[in-house]
Chains A and B, each alone.
Chain A
């Protein structure tokens, strides 16, 4: 069984009281597929996933990009720096 670990920050982390979530999988997912799996496992994060983007190895990726389970993955929700 494979496993994705997704780092959380800001409002998403505060919402579920954790700095990461884990998604089990039997194959590699695309970015959009992984976002759907994250919501399935953590329904309260749905709004954040709708407006947020996934970063893989510290760079934003497109929805159809394939993501390897051992990559560094982060959910980047609406940011508020500056």
Chain B
């Protein structure tokens, strides 16, 4: 069981070849994409400010909690800081699990906790 966390300056690149973890029956990938509209107004993109050392710690804490709770095999977490233009990816969560159920559940829980406990702020540009 492993959890990797990365904070990346700018938009996330296409997902690199990441071999599935031995024993995986399911790989779930969630990409968070910057929408062209925010609060009803057209935007160029989002500028993410992160309290980076704590953000990395909180992402790892949440990841390790959920890997243990749901018996997952691997979780790979990447979030942007800085400017991310429309239609680009600013957050990616990859989960390997034996079965889809625990992977899907953990995915949802992770994102809920991310939006409460991880010190990252977005500002429309």
User: Chain B residues with Cβ under 8 A from A59's Cβ?
Assistant: 54, 57
Question: Could you say which of A14, A76, A82 contacts B119, with CB atoms under 8 Å apart?
Answer: A76
Contact between A81 and B118, CB atoms less than 8 A apart? yes
Question: Could you say which of B54, B79, B91 contacts A58, with CB atoms under 8 Å apart?
Answer: B54
How many residues in B have their beta carbons less than 8 Å from beta carbons of A?
A: 22
Contact between B51 and A81, CB atoms less than 8 A apart? no
Question: Could you say which of B51, B54, B55, B121 contacts A80, with CB atoms under 8 Å apart?
Answer: B121
Q: Which residue of B lies closest to A14 (CB)?
A: B123
Total inter-chain residue pairs, C-beta < 8 Å = 58
Give chain A interface residues in 22-63, CB to chain B under 8 Å: 55, 58-60
Q: Which residue of B lies closest to A76 (CB)?
A: B119
Contact between B57 and A81, CB atoms less than 8 A apart? no
Contact between A82 and B114, CB atoms less than 8 A apart? yes
**Given the contacts A55-B54, A58-B57, A59-B54, A79 and B118 also touching, CB distance less than 8 Å:** yes
**Given the contacts A60-B117, A81-B114, A82-B114, A9 and B91 also touching, CB distance less than 8 Å:** no
Give complex CA distance A74, B51 in Å.
9
User: Chain A residues with Cβ under 8 A from B32's Cβ?
Assistant: 82
Q: Which residue of B lies closest to A58 (CB)?
A: B54
User: Chain B residues with Cβ under 8 A from A58's Cβ?
Assistant: 51, 53-54, 57
Which residues of B are at the interface with A, using a C-beta cutoff of 8 A?
A: 32, 48-51, 53-55, 57, 79, 91, 111, 114-123
